[in-house]
Amino acid sequence: MASLTSSTITHPFLSNNNSNLLISSNHVVSISFPGTRKMVGKKKKNYGATITAMAQPQRSAMQYNQLGDSNLVVSEITFGTMTFGEQNTEKEAHEMLSYAVEHGINTLDTAEMYPIPTKKETQGLTDTYIGSWLKSRPRDEIILATKVSGYTDRLTYVRDNAPEVLRVDAANIKESVEKSLKRLNTDYIDLLQIHWPDRYVALFGEFFYDPTKWRQSVPFAEQLRAFQELIDEGKVRYIGVSNETSYGVMEFINAAKSEGLPKIVSIQNSYSLLARCKFEGNLSCHAIVLLERGKMVNYMVSSPSLFLLDISFIRKSILVYIICIRKANL
């Protein structure tokens, strides 16, 4: 997810006079615009935030939805933070976070690998900025979602022992969570997601599955057992997936059902007029890339590396996009 990264740029499409334009759907429970418990286990924790008790500022017209079959109620817009530490200062990040919460957003999304673009020198700054901001706020008013990295040989510096590759196994998941908790200045994560699968899938620009890239992967049940331990310890409330396929979703659901393991409650995938899918299994979609990286609103200009930061233009384009969505009854 992306966020605006200048203290001089606010979020005009989140202002009170436009908040009635939020998208409503049975399964798409939260969306992220670019720019700008029920506890199960041995150890239970009073998290404070419940379905009926959430931070909902009176001056906000934000709408809220239950996330899957969890007891998390999330704002229909989630604040994505993946550029915190790369394109803004800590002070600017704090200003943006406070602005978002003041306008009804109660859900923040981060990941252990952030900020983007990924670099060893900056890795973890996004979490650190959020964590320092959280020190002055009631923790139970914020739903904090983060992600453990999937299979890769490019981000091995996020682990202490610098393995040849990262896997979604017990050791990697536990180390990821412990470090995330420390950076985020909290003792629990509301939603822990697998950033991308351990097994090979077509990702990040790949449009077709390449069978020659198949590899052995960590079994679905083994991944869920690692999450179960963290839930039992009170460090994680719920789990979800990201950049996942229908096959992966159903395998996780089946493994949870057959072995009595925690069920995933959400999926964070691209979702737009150009990328459509149907969601089953009482699984909520946390939609990203809604504007297809600018393609849907003519956001990109002459070069892919250049972006038009004319806020009035962006605002008008997004409103046109929302009108198209409503006409299509999406």
Residues identified as active-site = 114
Report the alpha-carbon distance of residue 290 to residue 79 in Å, rounded: 14
SS3 content of the chain, % helix, strand, coil (to 5): 30, 15, 55
- Phi and psi at residue 323, to the nearest 5°: -60, -40
Report the alpha-carbon distance of residue 246 to residue 315 in Å, rounded: 33
Location of structure tokens 């849907």: 296
Q: Hey, CA dihedral for 88, 299, 114, 93, is it positive or negative?
A: positive
Q: Are strands 64-66 and 73-75 parallel, antiparallel or unpaired?
A: antiparallel
The answer to whether 162 and 120 have CB atoms below 8 angstroms apart is no
Structure tokens at 192: 């822990």
Report the alpha-carbon distance of residue 249 to residue 68 in Å, rounded: 13
Q: Which helix (H) or strand (E) holds 326?
A: helix 311-327
Structure tokens at 292: 């297809």
Q: At residue 150, what is the residue type?
A: G
Contacts of 224 (CB under 8 A, 6+ apart): 239, 252, 255, 256, 259, 261, 262
